A and B are shown apart, each in its own frame.
Chain A
C-alpha cells in the first residue's frame, strides 16, 4: 500500500472516513442549460472563507476603540507589510460575497430549487443572507471613518423607527443613545464572534441539507432524463477553477483599486454631503426617502420598515406560496416575483446612487 493509502486507512479506522467517501463518491450534479448557476453557492462559501482568513489576519492589528480604530486601520494600510492587500481583499470580498449571495438566491428562485423537499434549505439561506448583511453593517463601522460613522448613525436611526421595540433595538445596537465608543465595541463583538458562530453553524446546516437532498433539477427538465456529472472529481475540478479565478479577481481589485481610508470620524462635524449606506442597503434607503413623512395617520418611515419586514417574511415563505397543493412550483408566479424584485432592487439601488 502506498504511504497515502496507509495514512488514509489509519484515519479511516478511527474516524470512519469511508462513510464520507461513499457519500462523496455518489454525489452528482445534473448537467443542463442552467448548470452554471450551481457554482454560485460555492463561490459565496469560498468568499466567506476568504473573509474569515483575512478577517483573522486583520484582527492581529486592528484595535476596536474610537481613539485607535481609524489609526490602526491606517497603520495596516501604510506600515504593515501587505496590510493594504489583506485589508483591500477583505473589503472587496465582503461586497462581492453579498453580491454573489444575491445571485445565488435569485438563481434558486428562477430554477425553482426552493420547492419540496428543499424548503428548509431556502429558509436557512434567507437567514444566512440576513446574517451576511449584518456582517456588512457591523464591519462597515469598524474603520471608524466619517462615511462609516454617519452611515451607521443613519442606519441605527432607521432601525430605531421600528414600531414598539424600535427604541430598545436602537439602544442595544448603539450601546447607548448615540453612536460612539460603545457602539464600536459591540459591533466588533458581533462582527468577529456572534455573527461568525451563527453563520458557521447555519452554513453547516445549509450545506448538509444540500448534501442530503442532492442538487435540484429545474422543473422544465425531467430529472430522470438528465445527464449527471460526478461531483468528485469532475465538478470539483471545475469549481476549483472558478474559485481560483475569483481569487485572481480579488487580487486585481485589491491591487488596482485599493480600499479607501477616508477621514477619521468626527462626531461633532456635520454629516458629509450625500451620506448614504453601502450599496446593499441603498434600495431600502432610497425607498424610505421616497415615502412621504406621513401616509394617512401612519408615519412614513414606520410604514417603510413594516413594509420591508413584511417583504422579508413573505420572501422567506416562498416555498409556501410559490408551490401548489401538488408540490409543484408555481413557476410563472415566482419567476415574475423574482424579476420584479430584481428590477426593484436594481432600479432603486441605482437611484440611491445618483440622487
Chain B
C-alpha cells in the first residue's frame, strides 16, 4: 500500500500542478470570456508554467467555480486600469521572483513607469493613458524579440501610434498626432524596414517604460548616442547655446526635425529649401558660409560622380579598373567626413576632407582616363596586327593565283 502511494503520489501531484481549470472552463465558453483562454496559449507566461490565477488570483486546481474564483483564494477579477501596473509589478519588480525565470531581466520597469508621462497621469486618475497591457498586449504577451510582439521594433511605431496618432484621444492633452506619419517618412524607419533592427524607433529616443520626450538640452545627447561625432561637433559649435535657448525644442531637431528625419543633402544648406536661410538672411556671413560649404560638398560629389562615370565607361570597354573603383570608396568616405565636419559650422574644418576627397577624385579620374587611353592603344595595336595579317593573306591569295594561273596543282579525273 505504502509503495503504491509513493508511486502514485508524484503522478497525482503532477496532475494537480498541471491542472488548469481556468483555461479548461473558459475555453468552452462564448464571447469575451472565451477570448483570453484562446489567446493564452501564445503567452510567454504560459510557456513558463504560469496561468490565469497567477495574475487574477484564485485557485486553478479547483473544478468548482465558486472556489476557483473566490475572494478567499485571492481572486481579483478584471483589475481596474489604474491598478494594472502594480499588478504586473507584483512579479516584474521583484528580483527574487524574476530570478527564478530570467535572472538577467530588468526589474525596474515599474519604477521607470512611475516617472513617465503615462505613469504620472495614471497616478492622478487618468485611465486613458497607456498601461502595461496597452503596449505589451494582455493574455498573448510575447517576448520583445518575437516579430509578432506589439513592442517588436518593426511594430512598435504602430503600437505607439494607436493612441498618439488618434486626434480625438490626444485632443485633451494638446499633443500633435502627426508623429507616426512623419516617422514613416524618415531614414530610421527606412533602415528598420531594410532589416537594420538597430535603427531607432519611438522607444529608442523617448524611452519605453520611462517614456518622456527628451528635454531640450538632451536632444543632442539622445541623437549623439549613435551619431557621436556629429553631436560632439555640434556641442562645441556656435549653434548649441542659440538653439538651446530657442522655444519649441533645440539641438539637432532644429535643422533635422524630430520625427520626419529625412536623408540630409546640400539642399538643406543652400537653395530654396535651405534650413540655414530660416535664420540667416542672404548676404550675411552665416549665409555665405552655408553657401560655401554647399558648393564644396556639391563639387566633391560631382567630381566623384564624374570619376565614377569615366571608370564605368572604361569598365564597359572591358578594361580592368576594379582597383580604381575601390579607391573611389576612399573618396566617398572623405565626402562623408566632410558632411560630418559641416556640423562644426566652420569652413576650415570642412576643408581638409574636401581636399583629400578631391585628390582621390583626381587620382581615380586619371586612372579611368588612362584605362580609356589603353583601350585606344589596344585597338591601334590590333589594327596594326590585322593590317600585317591582311597583307599576308593578300600575298597568299596572289601566290595561289599565280600558282594556278596555268592550272598547276590540279589533277584532272582520268575519266
Contacts and interface: CB of A to CB of B under 8 A. Distances in A.
A259 B414 CA distance: 53
Contacts of A77: 320
Contact of B403 (A227, A237, A257, A261): A237
Interface residues of B, number: 29
Interface in B389-415: 389-390, 392-393, 396-397, 399-400, 403-404, 409-415
A234 B411 CA distance: 12
A230 B410 contact: yes
A237 B399 contact: yes
Given A252-B382, A258-B318, A258-B319, A244 B389 contact: yes
B204 interface: no
Given A234-B403, A237-B400, A241-B397, A227 B412 contact: yes
Given A244-B393, A261-B322, A251 B385 contact: yes
B395 to A, nearest CB: 9
B386 A252 contact: yes
B90 interface: no
B415 A224 contact: yes
A257 B320 contact: no
B280 interface: no
A240 interface: yes
A74 B322 contact: yes
Contacts of A285: none
A31 B322 contact: no
A255 B379 contact: yes
A233 B381 contact: no
A234 B409 contact: yes
Interface string B145-187: 0000000000000000000000000000000000000000000
B352 interface: no
Contacts of A260: 318
B120 interface: no
A237 B382 contact: no
B382 A84 contact: no
A245 B413 contact: no
A233 B409 CA distance: 8
A294 interface: no
B30 interface: no
Interface string B209-240: 00000000000000000000000000000000
A229 B322 CA distance: 54
A215 interface: no
A245 B390 CA distance: 8
B323 interface: yes
Contacts of A88: 318
Given A252-B382, A255-B381, A226 B413 contact: yes
Contacts of B389: 244-245, 247-248, 251
Nearest to A224: B415
B314 to A, nearest CB: 11
B378 interface: yes
B267 to A, nearest CB: 35
Contact of B379 (A84, A233, A256, A261): A256
Nearest to B409: A234
Interface in A216-248: 224-230, 233-234, 237-238, 240-241, 244-245, 247-248
A248 B379 contact: no
A31 B410 contact: yes
Given A252-B382, A258-B318, A228 B397 contact: no
Contacts of A229: 409-411
Contacts of A251: 382, 385-386, 389
Interface in B319-337: 319-320, 322-323
A287 interface: no
Contact of B320 (A85, A233, A255, A261): A261
B382 A256 contact: yes
Contacts of A259: 318
Contacts of A240: 396
A54 interface: no
A85 B410 CA distance: 40
A70 to B, nearest CB: 11
A107 interface: no
Contacts of A227: 410-413
Contact of A248 (B381, B386, B411): B386
Contacts of B382: 251-252, 255-256
A31 B412 CA distance: 10
Contacts of B318: 88, 256-260
A185 interface: no
Contacts of A233: 403, 409
Nearest to B320: A78
Pairs of residues from A and B, 7 with the lowest C-beta to C-beta distance, nearest first: A258-B318, A234-B409, A255-B382, A78-B320, A228-B411, A248-B389, A230-B409
Interface of B: 317-320, 322-323, 378-379, 381-382, 385-386, 389-390, 392-393, 396-397, 399-400, 403-404, 409-415
27 contacts: A28-B411, A74-B320, A74-B322, A78-B322, A78-B323, A224-B414, A225-B413, A227-B412, A228-B410, A229-B410, A230-B409, A234-B409, A237-B396, A237-B399, A241-B393, A241-B397, A244-B389, A244-B393, A248-B386, A248-B390, A251-B386, A251-B389, A252-B382, A255-B382, A258-B317, A261-B320, A261-B322
Given A226-B413, A234-B410, A259-B318, 17 more contacts: A28-B411, A78-B323, A229-B410, A234-B409, A237-B403, A240-B396, A245-B389, A245-B393, A248-B385, A248-B386, A251-B382, A252-B382, A255-B378, A256-B318, A257-B318, A258-B317, A258-B319
